[in-house]
Structure 1
Amino acid sequence: MKMMQGQNISDIIEAYLKQILADSEKVEIRRAEIADLFNCVPSQINYVIKTRFTIQRGYLVQSKRGGGGYIRIEKVNLLDNRDMLDTLIELIGSTITQRDALAIVQKLYEEDFVTRQEANLTLAAISHDALAVNDRHLENALRASVLTSILNHLRFEKS
């Protein structure tokens, strides 16, 4: 695989895995093999998977350690899986950063779960400017509360 100018190794690994996922709903990889392929340390593969293949972005990741260990990445379709809203709500918990909330809203839009207008209104409601508090922890807690409320509404609206 040829290195693209201006791309870092994480972007390249992400693109490679997404290219595989474009052909199938899931992929099983061995961390060491992918690290060898890209001439990087295995922890770089962990970093890419933990930051780029999250539930907020529509991926479930499972791993098995040991000699026959693997990492399985699976695309999930939010429209066909109401349990996914419950999973997202559980994942949000009592606090969420603006960046993670954006990823959730973006995935909901990409999967046609919400319209562009609904996504934009949600983003406006959970933005740093709208919440307007000088305490980051309180801001993230308020954001989690608002986003959870919206997801709960969607859960019952779409069922």
Structure 2
Amino acid sequence: MRISDSVAKYIMQLLNEADGTAEIQRNELANVLGCVPSQINYVITSRFTPEQGYHVESRRGGGGYIRITRRQLSKSDVVMHIINAVGDSLDGGTARAMTENMLQNGVIDSEAASLLQAAASDKSLSLIPREFRDAVRASIYKNMLLVVKT
């Protein structure tokens, strides 16, 4: 298991044990898990995002902490957050990661995930010049999510 997976798993355990809110100190957690503090930052910014239903707040300084709260969002709210996060450009790797996160979190079913993956794939966009693919992918992805949302 990669260290980022271990960090995410540990934070998820803390969230589950504390009814959806975990307060951690980055340096202490890094010591417990045997990693560098920047690895903790990476995991929090990539896996505990508003689009994934988390609110993160931090306080710097000697008594500083990072508080992660799992928000109870409707599927519709999650999809709208993702649509807003996509913006004007979306690369294939990010589209796959977003789709996988929605599938794992029960926002979409496997059929919708497969359709999103197929539509956003480089293979589907092969006739589009490379410099326009990410913009076209973003447009397709957002429009498909609007249909999934309803």
Shorter-chain TM-score above 0.5: yes
> 2:93 maps to what in 1?
99
* Higher mean displacement: 46-55 or 84-93: 46-55
SS at match of 1:129: coil
SS at match of 1:95: coil
- Unaligned 5+ residue runs, structure 1? 1-6
Structure 1 residues 108 and 14: CA distance shift in structure 2, 3 A: closer
Distance across 2 between alignment mates of 1:14 and 1:114: 22
Counterpart contact for 1:26–1:74, Cα < 8 Å = yes
> 2:83 maps to what in 1?
89
Computed over aligned residues only, the root mean square deviation of the Cα atoms, in angstroms, reads 2.4
Distance across 2 between alignment mates of 1:124 and 1:58: 25
Paired residues, what number? 148
* Higher mean displacement: 14-23 or 27-36: 14-23
Q: Give me the TM-score of the superposition, normalised by structure 2.
A: 0.80
- Unaligned 5+ residue runs, structure 2? none
Counterpart contact for 1:56–1:107, Cα < 8 Å = no
> 2:140 maps to what in 1?
146
Q: Give me the TM-score of the superposition, normalised by structure 1.
A: 0.76
> 2:8 maps to what in 1?
14
Shift of 1:141: 1.5
Structure 1 residues 49 and 113: CA distance shift in structure 2, 3 A: closer
> 2:57 maps to what in 1?
62
> 2:27 maps to what in 1?
32
